[in-house]
Structure formats: C-alpha cells, structure tokens
Structure 1
Amino acid sequence: MKIHFLGAAGTVTGSKFLVETDETSILIDCGLFQGIKMLRELNREPLAYKPENIDYVILTHGHLDHCGWLPKLVNDGFTGKIFCTAPTKEIARLIMYDSAKIQEEEAERANKEKYSKHEPAIPLYTVEDVNKVIPLFRVVEPDLDIKITDDIYFSFFYASHILGACSISLQVNNEILVFSGDVGQDDDVLLFPPIKPKKADYVFIESTYGNRLHPNNDPLFDLEMLINNTFQKKGNVVIPSFAVERVQTVMYLLWQLKKQDRIPNIPYIIDTPMGISVLKVFQENRKWHKLNFEECEEMCSMFTLISDYKDTIETIYDKQPKVIIAASGMITGGRVLSYLERYISKPENSVLLVGYQAEGTRGRKLLEGAKEIKMYGKYYEVNASVFLIEGLSAHGDQKDLLDWLSDLTEKPKKIFLVHGENMASDELRIKIQEKYNFDCVVPYLGQVIEI
C-alpha cells in the first residue's frame, strides 16, 4: 500500500493522510491548513490525489484543521462515506458552517473595503457547499470493528483532546496502521485520559508539543491573578478560545474560581455562537466527559451567552470591566477580532492565550511580542498585556506522547511523526528512539511512502 502525506507533515495543520491500496483509497482526516500564508494558499490548490478516486474519509475529530477541507473535497468530486463518532459529526457540522460563514463574510468585507489582492475576493467554500457534505456522514461507535472491504477494517478508540476525538486503528491486509489524531492530556479537567494503542505495525503520531513539557503550574491561580490584576486597572480580559472544548474548559475554571469567591463579581461573557452550540453537544454526550447534567447547568448559569452580533457591539462599548471568551483560539477570525480592534491598543486590557498558536497566526505573533497586528486590512498597536496559560492545551506534551506509546506489545515497523513543526517532530523522534528503540521518520509534505 501507499501512504500519501497530503497535510500535517512538517506542519501542525491541514491534516490529510491517504491510504491507497489496489482496491480502495481511504483519507484519514481532511483539514484546512492554517497559519502562514504559504500554508493557507495550499487550501486553494487541487489535492495531489483525485478526490473522485477516494472511497472513504475517516475523521479523528471535528477541529477545523482535521475536517475543514471536506466541503472543498466534495466540491472537487468526492462522493464516498465519511465515518466519525457522534460528537464529531455534530462538532464538524458546526465548525464547517462557521468556517463557511466567516469566509463568506470576510470575502464580502474585503470586496466592500477593497483590501484583498483578488478581484473579487471569493470564499474557499460557502454554506451551500457545507450542505452537500452533511449527508455523507456515517456515525460509528468507538471500540467496534467496522468492515470496509474483506481485507480492511477500522475502529475508533478514545483520544481525549476534544469531545468525540478518537484515534484510529486501521487494519489493511493484516497490517495495523494506527493514527493518533490529536492526543489529549491525562489530567484534562473535563475529559477522560486517552486510551493507548496495544498493537500497531505503523504508527502516525502527532507531535504538536513534541519538544515541550507543559509547565507544572496551577491554571486556577494564574487565571485568578490575571483577572484580579486587570480588574484593578479597570480593564477587560479577552480570552481568544477554540469554540470546541477550550471554551468549556475555561468556563469550568472560571466557575471553580467564582464558587470559591476568588474572582470579582463582574460580567463573564461567552461570545461565540458555535461555542454555545457546542455546550448543547456537551450536555447531550455526557458519557464522553466528566460533568453531569447538573454541573453543566450550574456552570453555564454564571455566564452571559451572546449569539447576536448587535449584543457583541453593545458589550464592546460597555465600559465596565469584564471577561470575554470569544472564538477563534488562534485569532485567525471570528468574534474575537471585533473585541481586539477596540481593546488591543489600550494598556489597561489583557489578552489571555489558552492554547497552541500555529506559526503565522495573530496569536503566535502576539505570543512572540508583536508591537502591532493586522486585522481587516488595518494595523493596530499592541498595548494590552498578553499572557499565556500553556497548561490548558488540549494537546498532550512530550511526556504524554511518549507515554501514549508505552502499551504497544510488539515493536512497530515504523513510527511517523506528523502534526508538528519540524523542530518539535524531530525532537520527539529522537526521544522515541532513545526510549523505545523504535524506527522513526519525519515525513515531508507531499511525500508518498510505500509500505
């Protein structure tokens, strides 16, 4: 068989791994590239393998960089089935519609204000394109063997990371290929620990934090200090957050602080329509996380939930100090831009980053100390304080990833390090070789390997 590394090789985003055999072709994940312009431009390039020749897609989870290219794949000719878990179907649906809506709105704004190089600016895909994807989804329960052909089976197993996320065990002609997807932390506040693979001939493991260990800090204390210090300055705290899982994690931590009277009685606002929708998915899929229905209800009751954009505008111009959680997590688009346009230049305000910031994103630039950032064609001075609570990442760190491999009963034939920038992947490669003596390789984007 051949493995085509069509995304998330040498970079974190754009997850696409094609397994090609004589009888069928299976695409593991179908995500958007995010970050630097060179990567984003790949989203408009035709796939290096004809979509009409792909028979199936199997999704590890519903994040944009794992499912967000599906509308383009379908537009370009894919007509097969898309397998995923029940929460992943709902989250992917929400994320794709949100992505399409943002693209349509940004194209409209670019054409109106004439700041795009393209004339006219057009979205990569539209809401109508997403409508064509939804009927292709097929929901699969974890830990069940699903027969694709006489010689090909797959099953999902729990990966933590976000609601519904699973790793994939794919058996092809008696060879077992394991795709980690994104692996969560063992001590996630909302999700259960990831399940480790037991058997694999070939492993495709993520390496986002392959060269880092999460700090041994107390996120509750860090959050408490930041909010209270900003409140003393009569400022606002803006938390750019991924609408899936991260919003809910931050909500949980704020709820814990509020119950302990450690943070002030000010407005706590969730301004991400998709994040609000994901809360419903959380409540409907309680076997996938630690909170019961009553805890979900109590947690949600302390927040003002905003869906209508006119409420966003009112909130922005409300002068009282407040804490706002708004998408997107890497500040690549969404409601958070509206807040930052107003707040980023004012020194009394704070911006709190709570997850991975990919190369080339506004979040990464803020993290690296940028003095100005560009939004909607204009530059804004960065005078607000910028903080990072890294321990809240939904990704496991180097130790977690090494531990994820610890239950393999036999030595795999090869480990492929994917979903990481080159330095992170290579350092994890060295650590795996040192600890387990496994044969490891870091594939490059576009590489095709025969196994």
Structure 2
Amino acid sequence: MVIESTYGASVSYQPSRQEANQELQDIVSRTLMRGGKMICPVFAVGRSQEVMIAIDELFRSGTVKPVPVWLDGMIQEATAIHASHPNYLTKALSKSLLKDDGENPFTSEWFRPVKGRELRESIVMDTSPCIVLATSGMLNGGPVMEYFKNWAHEERNSLCFVGYQAEGTLGRRLQKGFGEVPMLINGKTEIVKIGCEMVTIDGFSGHSDRRQLLDFVDRINPPPKNIICHHGDYQKCNELGLTLRERYNCLTFAPSNLETVRLF
C-alpha cells in the first residue's frame, strides 16, 4: 500500500467543516470591519470551490455584507469543470446547479474573474474592501504574488491560508513567523514587511488527517503487509509509518525524495 502522510503526525487532526466556516466568517468580518482586503492563496482545483461556497453562504445569509470577491488564476476555468459535472458533487450543490434558480454559488454576482493584467493592477490600486482568491496556494508564484507584495504591509488587510504550506515555500516561512521577505518589485529586490493579520484555517484541506488515514487502513482486509508513507514532511511520514508498523505488525517505509524502493 502507498499512503499519503500530509497530516500523518500524532497531532495532525483537522477541525470540522463547521468550525472552518466559522473561522472564515471571523477573519472575513474582522478584515471588512477594518476596511481592509483579504488575500486567500488557493489551489485552483477543489480548494477554491470549497471557499467560494463558504463565502457565498456568508453573503447570502446576511452574516457578512457582500463585497467583490475577485478570482484570479485558473480558478474560473477549474470551477467551470466542476459545474459541468454536477453528478460528482453533493446532492444539494448538484441540485442548485441543475435547477439554475439563482442559488448556484459558482455564479453569484460577487464572484468576479480577473481577466488580464490591467484589471489586476486596477484591483491592487483600489482602496475599497474586497476579497481575492488567487493561485498559487502556497505563495510560490502566480498572480497572488501581485496582491501579496502590495497589500501585505497594511495592518487592516489579512492573509488567509486555507491549504497546506509545504516546507520551503513562502507560505510556510510566513507561518513560521517571518516578519519580512525579499521580493522582486519593478525589477529590483525589495523587502516586504508583513503587517497584515495572518491566519491558517485547516478545515478546508483536501488531505485526510491522521484519524482518517488510520481509519482507511483499518478497513483494508486483509491488512497490508508493506506500506509506503509519502507525500508529507519526513517527520510526519515516519510518525505515521511507526504507528502503522505497531498496529499491523507490517513493514513500513518512509522514503526520502529520489530514494528508490523495490516493490518486486
């Protein structure tokens, strides 16, 4: 068996979606009350659509006063693919897509695609509150960098992570508490100081947490004799592998990058 270990550590348990939605509501409310802008680095597939649905619920319910939500990167294209296959979505979401009765969260009026550099520059310079969902999800490139380098220094703004930040990425460095980062601005390297509020909401992750990973292996019959733990920090791969070895008396491997494991 080959199994991921993104959240395989002994303390890696994800909050419920209800808790994640509440955290999102809190950070959106705080940011907009300050008159600020919220940057949300997202992956185009999956995570973007989950956050769009959550924001749509906040606005439709009247919990938060609607503001423009800009979608930058490949989010619009990925969302169109989701909408084209409603049978793979939840029943409630599928129903809203098929009925086309104005309840489709993906076509709500507050979601606005960013088409081109000129519009992006206009959004960056605009002083009114808004939310930006933009790729890439780990702040390691993509259009999100334009918003980050222009807005990260302002205390009224916020940076909201909703996905895993891998070691070595800008997102992970910020989570570790880096107060300033070098960035290329107008062809020159400049230091961007981090003054905005920063939060991480774990409940939107597309990865299974430790409890879910162990439950999955529990359902395998007969139990696997060999398990390769990968797709995670080395420590998390090792922790999950040790637990699986003790629980199932099997061989486990946590190979490093480029390490070869002979299967046969």
| 1:225 corresponds to | 26
Deviation of the 1:228 alpha carbon: 1.2
Whether contact under 8 Å (1:243, 1:327) holds in the other structure is yes
For the 8 Å contact 1:230–1:350, the answer to whether it is kept is yes
Relative to structure 1, the CA distance from residue 398 to residue 296 in structure 2 (aligned partners, 3 Å threshold; closer, same or farther) is farther
Unaligned runs of 5+ residues in structure 1 are 1-202
Task: Give me the identity figure in percent.
Answer: 28
Tell me the equivalent position of 2:233.
421
TM-superposition CA deviations, 1:37-58 (whole Å, max 9, x none)? xxxxxxxxxxxxxxxxxxxxxx
- 1:182 corresponds in structure 2 to none
Aligned pair 1:340/2:152, yes or no? no
Give deviations 1:231-268, integer Å, cap 9, x for gaps: 12111111011111111110000011112111122212
Q: For 1:96-175, what aligned pairs fall within 5 Å after superposition?
A: none
* Letter paired with 2:207: H
Aligned counterparts of 1:303 and 1:407: Cα–Cα separation in 2: 41
Aligned-partner Cα distance in 1 for 2:57–2:33 = 21
- How far off is 1:296 after superposition? 7.5
Q: Which residue type is aligned with residue 342 of structure 1?
A: N
Q: Which residue does the alignment assign to 1:215? A: 15
Change (3 A) 1:357 1:404: same
2:4 corresponds to 1:206: yes
Cα displacement string for residues 284-318 of structure 1 (whole angstroms, at most 9, x for unaligned residues): 22232223223883432231121222111111111
Unmatched runs of 5 consecutive residues or more in structure 2: none
AA partner of residue 337 (structure 1): M
Amino acid at match of 1:206: E
Task: Determine if contact 1:283/1:296 at 8 Å carries over to the other structure.
Answer: no
> C-alpha separation between the residues in 2 aligned to 1:367 and 1:405?
31
Q: Is the 8 A contact 1:353 1:387 kept in 2?
A: yes
Residue of structure 2 in register with 1:314 after alignment: 122
Larger Rg: 1
Structure 1 position 210, deviation (Å): 0.6
Aligned partners of 2:23, 2:257: CA distance in 1, in Å? 38
CA contact (8 A) 1:337 1:375 kept: no
Aligned to 1:289: 89
Which of 177, 196, 205 is the matching residue for 1:369?
A: 177
Amino acid in the other structure paired with 2:34: K
1:22-41 aligned within 5 A:
none
Q: Which residue of 2 aligns with 1:275?
A: 75
Q: RCO higher in 1 or 2 (8 Å CA, sep ≥ 6)?
A: 2
Quote how far apart the aligned CAs of 1:219 are.
1.4
Separation (CA, whole Å) in 2 of partners of 1:421 and 1:403: 21
Q: Tell me which amino acid in the other structure corresponds to 2:172.
A: R
The answer to whether residue 70 in structure 2 is matched with residue 258 in structure 1 is no
Per residue, is there more helix in 1 or in 2? 2
Q: Do structure 1's residue 305 and structure 2's residue 113 form an aligned pair? A: yes
Report the residue type matching 1:400 in the other structure: Q
CA distance in 1, matches of 2:103, 2:242: 42
Runs of 4 or more off by more than 6 Å in structure 1? Answer: none
Tell me the C-alpha RMSD between the 2 structures: 1.6
Correspondence for 1:240 among 41, 44, 60: 41
**Aligned pairs, number:** 248
Matched, 1:330 2:141: no
